[in-house]
Amino acid sequence: MTVVPSIPGFPKQDAAQGCLRRLASNEAGNVIIIAAASLFPLLALIGSGIDMGRGYLAETRLQQACDAGTLAARKRLGTSVAVNGVIPDTVADTGQRFFNINFRDGSHGSVARNFVMTLENDLSISGVATAQVPTTIMGAFGFDMLQVSASCSAQITMANTDIMMVLDTTGSMLWTNPDDTEPRIAALRSTVKSFHAQMEGNKPPGTRIRYGFLPYSTNVNVGHLLRDEWLVDEWEYNYRVRQNNIQWRYSRMTLDLAFLGTANTVQVPMGGSPSAPTNVTARYRGCVEERDTYEITDYGNVDLSRALDLDLDRVPNPNDPATQWRPMLNELSYVREIRTNGWGGFSRPQIITGTEFVNANSWGYSACPSPAHQLAEMTAEQVATYVDGMVVQGSTYHDIGMIWGGRLLSPTGLFAAQNADQPGRVTTRHMIYLTDGETAPLDVSYGSYGIEPLDQRRWSPTSIMSLTQTVENRFSFACAEVKKRNIQVWVISFGTGANPVMQTCAGQERYFVADDAASLEATFSTIARRMGELRIVR
């Protein structure tokens, strides 16, 4: 039995009950008990928050390092793997190095850092990164480590892309560079095929890539792409006819071009004796003379209402011959009065003489390149057939290549309907302009502006600029007009030194000098890689 002490003045039973009541109503001791009981879970809650926060920071950084590693590795892999299947040994090292830089050993107190990359079938590079982060307070509860991980994948992706290759096919493309064993044209053909394979091999599903080709030399061959109403009905040529049995009349003569509606050749009278008339067969190959222009002396203030050749988007008016193109008929190109022995000068007025003057066509001064190819999706076989069939001849007129390259690629000009973006899909547009030489026009040539000293549409022997300067200034102006249409221009000087005019056109980042076939291949691979967008896809 428990003895309860008595309290004076109270009965023993009442005293015991009062004591109990006072004890029950006193809460001072309860606070200590409750605090002691809650301290353990509160410590676990705070500790887990601190440790999980450190783990989250470590995982975020691990994800950034994983992304950086796969991006660097995919960039190092490049686009040529789609062609040759060769994976450089440095790919894995590059990815690992970038991972290590972004997640150093011991970051956030981590241990057991690991990063593994895999080359997927679609040529993307995937990665998995793991690490362990030691806990602090949570260790008291049996959780010594937090496992953190990240997965990532990098790929070169592309928007819809249009690529126009403006290719120098002048006679010097038959030369062989000092360090090569095959002519420049052979190296170009091989490189273009490889470039196509790289672009197609790295193309994401559902993406459209179109290719166009414009070989250029003294002029360009685009006639098959032009509507009938874009050509004049008649035009003047520097022709000759027999004045009598012993003399010729050399002059500008007008020819009706109605024959083009049914045929590419026409019999043009050259005269002769009444009993034996002589005709010449003139053939339209597809090269054209430019529409109206003028001699420009200030290229900072070009009047495009007069320089119609430099107005890239102007569509010809069928009722205005000034806006239309003129078929080149090479057989009708006599250079008066340059004699066949090389002597003589240029004479614009007609001449009646028994002397033979140079015919630009028969003397090789009127080359017409291979027909241009409009933008289209192309198979490897189609690309190979086209580039292998390119003809090499003629002189170097850079301006006409840039002018027509822009026309064929522009989304707002002659071929706007074909070149427009697909609904809801933006198209990026690129011009790859390749040349193997400096500007080299010939005044005796019959080209896109006629026989220049005789026709004098943009230049004459008395001009303040040389013919070369005229061509280069028009090239530069046309290049600027092309870039206004949001077209990226890439320029390659192949087998020749750097050209300041070309470099200014493309800009420092898009101008290349390739000395041989190997560097040309590397240059096209660089362009292919830059056309794509290297990005994280997972």
What span, in angstroms and rounded, lies between the C-alpha atoms of 275 and 288?
A: 35
Non-local (6+) Cβ contacts of 270 within 8 A are 240, 241, 242, 278, 279, 280
In 10 A of CB 205, how many CB atoms?
5
In a shared domain, residues 260 and 395: no
Pairing state between β 125-134 and 145-157: antiparallel
Q: How far apart are the first and last CA of the chain?
A: 78
Residue tagged 């991980």 (tokens)? 149
Helix (H, G, I), strand (E, B) or coil at 499: coil
Helix (H, G, I), strand (E, B) or coil at 5: coil
Which pLDDT value is given to residue 204? 82
What span, in angstroms and rounded, lies between the C-alpha atoms of 500 and 375?
A: 29
Give the amino acid at 368. Answer: C
Which pLDDT value is given to residue 10? 43
What span, in angstroms and rounded, lies between the C-alpha atoms of 271 and 246?
A: 11
What span, in angstroms and rounded, lies between the C-alpha atoms of 399 and 25?
A: 104
What span, in angstroms and rounded, lies between the C-alpha atoms of 346 and 335?
A: 7
Pairing state between β 357-359 and 334-339: antiparallel
Q: Is residue 16 part of a domain?
A: no
In a shared domain, residues 437 and 469: yes
C-alpha atoms less than 13 angstroms from C-alpha of 115 in its C-beta half-sphere: 29
Are 293 and 457 a contacting pair, CB within 8 Å? yes
Q: Is residue 525 part of a domain?
A: no
Q: Is residue 393 part of a domain?
A: yes
Are 369 and 397 a contacting pair, CB within 8 Å? no
Helix (H, G, I), strand (E, B) or coil at 526: helix
Are 451 and 378 a contacting pair, CB within 8 Å? no
Pairing state between β 125-134 and 111-119: antiparallel
Please report, for the domain that includes residue 213, its CATH number.
3.40.50.410
Which pLDDT value is given to residue 116? 92
Is-cis flag, bond preceding 337, omega within 30? yes
Which pLDDT value is given to residue 8? 46
Which residues of the chain are under the pLDDT cut of 50?
1-12, 23, 35-39, 42-46
Give the amino acid at 218. Answer: T
In a shared domain, residues 232 and 102: no
Which pLDDT value is given to residue 138? 57
What span, in angstroms and rounded, lies between the C-alpha atoms of 148 and 85?
A: 34
Q: Which domain holds residue 141?
A: 28-157
In a shared domain, residues 327 and 288: yes
Element (DSSP H or E) covering residue 479: helix 467-484
Q: Computed over its alpha carbons, how large is the radius of gyration of the chain?
A: 39
Cα torsion angle, 387, 388, 390, 392, sign: positive
Token code pair at residue 16: 């015991």
Helix (H, G, I), strand (E, B) or coil at 93: helix
In a shared domain, residues 298 and 381: no
Longest dimension (CA), the chain: 169
In a shared domain, residues 346 and 254: yes
Nearest in space to 325 (alpha carbons), one of 193, 242, 427, 449? 449
In a shared domain, residues 133 and 186: no
Domain count within the chain: 3
Which pLDDT value is given to residue 2? 32
Q: Is residue 312 part of a domain?
A: no
Residue 91 main-chain phi, psi, to 5 deg: -60, -55
Pairing state between β 427-435 and 160-168: parallel
In a shared domain, residues 177 and 113: no
* Distance, C-alpha 449 to centroid of its chain: 29
Q: Is residue 11 part of a domain?
A: no
Q: Is residue 7 part of a domain?
A: no
In a shared domain, residues 337 and 391: no
Q: Is residue 307 part of a domain?
A: no
In a shared domain, residues 276 and 386: no
Query: Within 318-397, where are the H helices?
Result: 380-388
What span, in angstroms and rounded, lies between the C-alpha atoms of 440 and 220?
A: 16
In a shared domain, residues 472 and 497: yes
In a shared domain, residues 148 and 59: yes
Which pLDDT value is given to residue 31? 56
Q: Is residue 492 part of a domain?
A: yes
In 10 A of CB 61, how many CB atoms?
19
C-alpha atoms less than 13 angstroms from C-alpha of 250 in its C-beta half-sphere: 22
Which pLDDT value is given to residue 6? 42
